[in-house]
Amino acid sequence: MKKTPLNQWHHNHGARMVDFSGWDMPIQYEGIIAEHMRTRQGASLFDVSHMGELYLEGKDALANLERLLPNRFGDMKTGQVRYSPMLYENGTFVDDLSVYRLCDDKFLLCVNASNKDKDHAWIAQNIKGEVVLTDKSDATGQIAIQGPKAEAILKKLVKIDLTKIGYWFFDWDLIDGKELLIARMGYTGEDGFEIFIDQEHTLWLWEKLMELGQEEGLQPAGLGARDTLRLEVAFPLYGQEIDDKHLALGCGMSRFMDLEKEFIGRSPLLAAQKAGLKEQLVKFVLVGKGVPRNHCKVVDLNSRELIGEVTSGSHSPVLSGGIGMAWIKAEHAQPGKIIGIEVRDRVLEAKLIQGSFVKTSKKA
């Protein structure tokens, strides 16, 4: 099983560890709800060193990005990050990723841990011209500090002015001879930063932040809280909301795709747009008590017809109720509609909503 540079620290500090896509990762420390609420109200530290770091560099790097990914990148500034799907020719997902513009002809692609090797192979197969693809995942550590107190903690360590880093932007700093790439972003909907550092210095950075964040109550959080936090703000997860079975339309990705340009997977999306979508990803809140879970069946309340399946379902610590996302037949996907979720041989009523479940400083 693969291990991050912080693996022994997690074991030494009582983390409950699980196999996450072949990685030995912490699912929780003191408990998912406590870690979740601390992130919403204060700050938490997440080990995300399992994520993949691929680099595209060369005269034709930008041209290849524009063809590989549906989003646009030509207007990006150095120091800017942009999110994008990456699609197969049939319009389904290879992965979703973040693109960092390091300079005119060099880009960092941060990809999902479970997809890193697949992504690398796909990109290598489809790039052409003067461009080099390099995988630096094993040499890179990554830590996320998330929550409204994240900036106050991180500014104790760095020399750069964090207030000048906008959301979805980054900058570099050099601390004690160690280079940090500091991006203002995250997977929780809160303010926060994702920090890249050489693998050998990851533990130093983690322990330094833990020390500096004591006054603000900084503590580590595991993958359990990371999942409930992202669900509350309706961020998709590869393998659940997005995958190689669903078209990249009807799941809230339109703003990250420019259908006017040429890119791999465009033709099926244009055809589906013209013909009309058959499925749509929806968000729902349970009307009463209960907790929806992944893969629960979604039914029409009147006919009990099967109309879809829950992709992510959980208890919302902030709302104190059940929430979830599901792919359902498009004709049932009107906001405000009441649908049925099958949970343990019962059909629970759920209301379809728009937007995120919880409003945060970065996610309305």
106-111 and 52-57 beta bridge pairing: antiparallel
Dihedrals φ, ψ of 167, to 5°?
A: -65, 135
Domain residue ranges of the chain, discontinuous segments joined by +: 7-50+138-232, 278-364
**7-50+138-232 — its CATH code?**
3.30.1360.120
DSSP letter for 34, please: H
Residues 85/247, Cβ–Cβ less than 8 Å = no
Q: Rounded to an integer, what distance in angstroms lies between the CA atom of residue 52 and that of residue 120? A: 9
pLDDT at 362: 80
Q: Is 216 exposed, middle or buried (0-12, 13-18, 19+ CB in 10 A)?
A: middle
pLDDT digits (tens, 9 = 90+) for 14-73: 999 999 999 999 999 999 999 999 999 999 999 999 999 999 999 999 999 999 999 999
Q: What token pair was written down for 352?
A: 């379809």
Q: How much is the pTM? A: 0.96
Dihedrals φ, ψ of 96, to 5°?
A: -125, 145
Element (H or E) spanning 315, and its range? strand 306-316
User: What kind of architecture, by CATH, is found in domain 278-364?
Assistant: Beta Barrel (2.40)
pLDDT at 224: 98
pLDDT digits (tens, 9 = 90+) for 171-192: 999 999 999 999 999 999 999 9
Q: Rounded to an integer, what distance in angstroms lies between the CA atom of residue 165 and that of residue 186? A: 14
pLDDT at 364: 52
> What's CA 290's distance to the chain center, in Å?
26
Residues 146/39, Cβ–Cβ less than 8 Å = yes
Distances in whole angstroms, Cα of residue 11 to Cα of each of 1, 5, 215, 253: 14, 12, 24, 38
Helices and strands counted in the chain (H then E)? 8, 19
Nearest to 261 by CA among 60, 106, 17, 65: 65
Q: What token pair was written down for 217?
A: 């109550």
Which stretches in the chain have pLDDT values below 50?
none
